[in-house]
Chain A
Amino acid sequence: MDAAHSLPPATYGLLAEFDTPSALVAAARRAHEAGYRKLDTFSPYPIEEAWEAIGHHDRRLSLIVLIGGLTGLATGYGLQEWVHQIAYPINIAGKPLNSWPQFVPVMFELTILFAALSAVFGMIILNGLPQPYHPVFNVPRFEHASRDKFFLLVESTDPKFDRARTLDFLKGLDASEVNDVEP
């Protein structure tokens, strides 16, 4: 649907649809080169070139997972030392209260547990999920984003965004369709 003659009062952005991953990546590169920054692409499977093309690479999760893992390690060590030295000291087979080699398995498991939890929840939170509503869902064709089509979104908050000119630009990128995204 070409929305050129039924202009909505305000728009979230323009969504261009592509048939192939290569067309999407090429279009995303050209949009980025043209100076658009509030870009996003949508694809039914991960395409490394697509996020590279829009200049996105978030490395924070590595640090989050590292901190999570170290927290788990410290928790495991602290818990066991505290239990066996302070809270409930008990002589087992004449072993010293601080028999730390025997604390290693639980320290290891808690390291993995905390790191994995921070990885998953870190990903969900940084991605802003759960987010049941998003304007792109207003475009009827968008249900193909989880199936077989590829989409490039230029948000209207981009300083370079001008509805008419951006529309022409996107149409020139081999898009099979360009739709307005209702906010």
Chain B
Amino acid sequence: MINPKPATYAPVPLIEPGHTFSSITDKIGGVVLTMKTPLSWFIVVSIGLMLMGGLGLAVTWLLIKGTGIWGVNIPIGWGFAIINFVWWIGIGHAGTLISAILLLLKQGWRTSINRFAEGMTIFAVMCAGIFPLIHTGRPWLAAYWLFPYPNTMAIWPQFRSPLIWDVFAVSTYFTVSLLFWYVGLIPDLATLRDKAKTRPVKMAYGMLALGWRGSARHWQRYEHIYLLLAGLSTPLVLSVHTVVSFDFAIGIIPGWHATIFPPYFVAGAIYAGFAMVLTLAIPLRKIYHLEDFITMRHLENMGKVTLVTGLIVAYGYISEAFFGWYSANKYEGFMIWNRMTGPYWYMYWTLILCNIVTPQLLWIRRVRVSPLGLFLVAMVVNVGMWLERFVIVVTSLHRDFLPSSWGMYYPTIWDFMTFFGTIGMFLVLFFLFVRFLPMISIFEMRTMAPEAKLTGSEGH
């Protein structure tokens, strides 16, 4: 790291000094193996469960009545379901980026944040998965529409459709993320098994740990496949949002049919994901007093990644506007003009304010090293990324080629209940994870302890 003013800009360590193997184990494992759950945990889970109740109600009513209860209608046939799906999937991208790409790039600071970022990925993909499942109002039909299995009607899915690619991309992403997460957890589950005091707890973690005993022969194979999984996940994570962008880009709707979409979507996903990691990390380190492990250096680095990906997203917006003009296609030109000045102008300009203007605050170091400042910027980006998907989906559809088929989109209470319900589900799942599994990788944190340095041998 370039260090022009060492007096004011001494790099904060990745782990506060004074930690040993056992203090790391006790600090992180203690969050799980304690009887004392912070009050804020109960508050968040209660809110989450309440919102989930709304989700249950909205989905039940949807199954009874059909998609007519939603605000979607021609010309806007894609409404909240796809907006929320893309928003959640995007959030899910940071977890794998942190655990895989930063591992391959040997970024040591990933160690403190990769576990809960991976958890966040899995829960975000679960929330995302709800929408394609229910968006037809008849989820039981999805089985033969989407999955290639020999059914009695002898019909098969259409593999030339990006919607099928999406099914394969998202389900592969979910499976691989889950595997990556579980493999990372195995040694920590063994730690919890050995640390637990009561027999049922020992049994539960013992079964999940598969009898892990830290053998060198096991570690060698473990490290081998961990690296391979990182290598496999890296193109995978880039492919998932690329395929999601194909859902739009393969269509001929002005505003969707653009070659910029795959990189622009991937950058947006990482941007949204890092904003969500910040949104979760800042309260968590406060509630569980993890400032020793999630230091200001981590938060600042995440702020920098957010700023960089935000600039790529800004480039995406600029190129969309540029192509609207440069294509000399009147439909493309009208689309971008309608986005900026049409009935949804306030959505577009709020989006620009949230995703382009606000993150520029991250250039200022005072904001990057202030947890509150980072948290506020991250919240604004979370909102901005949702607005981005709203603008892409709705403003492209509501006024297409024929003025006679123009229309407006008005989401209903059921749309909102479903959306906020998935946020509740995410909170509940995430806080259950924080309560029952170590939210920071204990064994990887041990490698950061000063004791882990080998003396009197070559290497390291």
Contacts and interface: CB of A to CB of B under 8 A. Distances in A.
Chains A and B belong together in one complex: yes
Interface of A: 20-22, 25-26, 28, 40-51, 54, 56-59, 61-62, 65, 69, 79-80, 83-84, 87-88, 90, 92, 95, 99, 102-103, 105-106, 108-110, 112-113, 115-117, 119-120, 122-124, 126-127, 129-134, 136-137, 142-148
Contacts of A106: 159, 164-165, 168
B221 A126 contact: yes
Interface of B: 20-22, 25, 148, 154-160, 162, 164-165, 168-169, 172, 175-176, 179-180, 182-183, 187, 190-191, 193-195, 206-207, 210-225, 228-229, 232-233, 235-236, 239, 243, 246, 443-444, 446-447, 451-452, 454-457, 459-460
B191 A44 contact: yes
A113 B235 CA distance: 12
B221 A22 contact: no
Contacts of A40: 215-217
A120 B180 CA distance: 8
A42 B232 contact: no
B210 A136 contact: no
A146 B191 contact: yes
B214 A42 contact: yes
Contact of B216 (A41, A90, A148): A41
Residue from A47, A126, A134, A147 whose CB has the most chain B CB atoms within 10 Å: A147
B46 to A, nearest CB: 34
A112 B206 CA distance: 30
Nearest to A129: B210
B452 A21 contact: yes
A25 B457 contact: yes
A93 to B, nearest CB: 8
Contacts of B148: 79, 83
Nearest to B235: A112
A12 B118 CA distance: 39
B330 to A, nearest CB: 25
Given A44-B21, A84-B156, A105-B165, 18 more contacts: A41-B215, A45-B187, A45-B447, A46-B223, A46-B447, A48-B223, A56-B216, A65-B225, A109-B236, A110-B172, A120-B183, A124-B210, A127-B218, A129-B212, A136-B213, A143-B195, A146-B195, A147-B22
Residue from A92, A117, A120 whose CB has the most chain B CB atoms within 10 Å: A120
Q: Chain A interface mostly helix, strand, loop or mixed? A: helix
B143 to A, nearest CB: 16
A46 B227 CA distance: 13
Given A42-B214, A106-B165, A49 B454 contact: yes
B11 to A, nearest CB: 24
B217 A51 contact: yes
B154 A88 contact: yes
A12 to B, nearest CB: 13
B219 A46 contact: yes
A61 B224 contact: yes
A157 to B, nearest CB: 15
Nearest to B242: A105
A50 B148 CA distance: 47
A147 B216 contact: no
B232 A146 contact: no
B246 A105 contact: yes
15 contacts: A40-B217, A41-B216, A45-B443, A80-B159, A87-B154, A112-B233, A112-B235, A115-B232, A116-B233, A119-B225, A133-B211, A146-B187, A146-B191, A148-B22, A148-B25
